[in-house]
Amino acid sequence: MASRRTAWSADEGERVLRGLHEHDRLVLPALQALQEEFGYVHPDAVAMVASFLNVSVAETHGVLTFYHELRTAPPADVVVSLCSAEACQASGSRALRDEVASAIAPVGGRSADGGVDVVEVFCLGNCAFGPAALVNERLVGRVDLDRLHGAVASAREEARA
């Protein structure tokens, strides 16, 4: 994941904004395109988006902070999204979350080696195979710590490749 990302610069940011389809020249799609390209929305991008779309900085900041998934700092190579919604709770996600907190990082945290972020999400649509997790973009079902470690290891390899 990380290897495909572009390093942030104002020029690259401008390039992404100019590449937006006419229908996507709106604040949320613009911020999403920046995050897709750079892995996060650089704080300098807020004024740039506002100016490009002719909206206020406040409005752009408002959108950026509304959506859980938009981030303003680079993520780790591997992002583990643990499902914390009811169907996974019924299948043991609360216990798994505690195990992950000891073995990798607590929700909202980063592993000691800096390679893995752990975040919580509400529902991955894998509700009959809970607990579920998304490891970067790969969905994993019936997650236990072993399976999670395996998925994280292959995601790390992909990130290095």
List binders of another protein among 57-76 (CB under 8 A). Answer: 59, 62-63, 66-70
Draw the binding track, 113-152, toward another protein (x: CB under 8 A; -: no contact): --------xxxxxxxxxx-x-x--x-xxxx----------
DSSP, res 80: E
For the chain, helix (H) and strand (E) counts, in that order, are 7, 4
CB closer to another protein out of 108 and 114? 108
29 contacts 20 by C-beta, under 8 angstroms: yes
| Residues composing the chain | 161
Draw the binding track, 72-111, toward another protein (x: CB under 8 A; -: no contact): ---------x---xxxxxxx--------------------
CB closer to another protein out of 28 and 159? 28
Dihedrals phi, psi of 85, to nearest 5 degrees:
-85, 175
What minimum distance in Å lies between the beta carbon of 42 and another protein? 17
Neighbour order of strands in the sheet with 138-140: 116-121, 78-83, 133-135, 138-140
> Does 15 help bind another protein (rule: CB under 8 A)?
no
Nearest to 113 by CA among 122, 121, 104: 104
118 contacts 108 by C-beta, under 8 angstroms: yes
Binding another protein by CB under 8 A: which of 8, 16, 17, 27? 27
Q: List residues binding another protein (CB under 8 A).
A: 23, 26-32, 59, 62-63, 66-70, 81, 85-91, 121-130, 132, 134, 137, 139-142
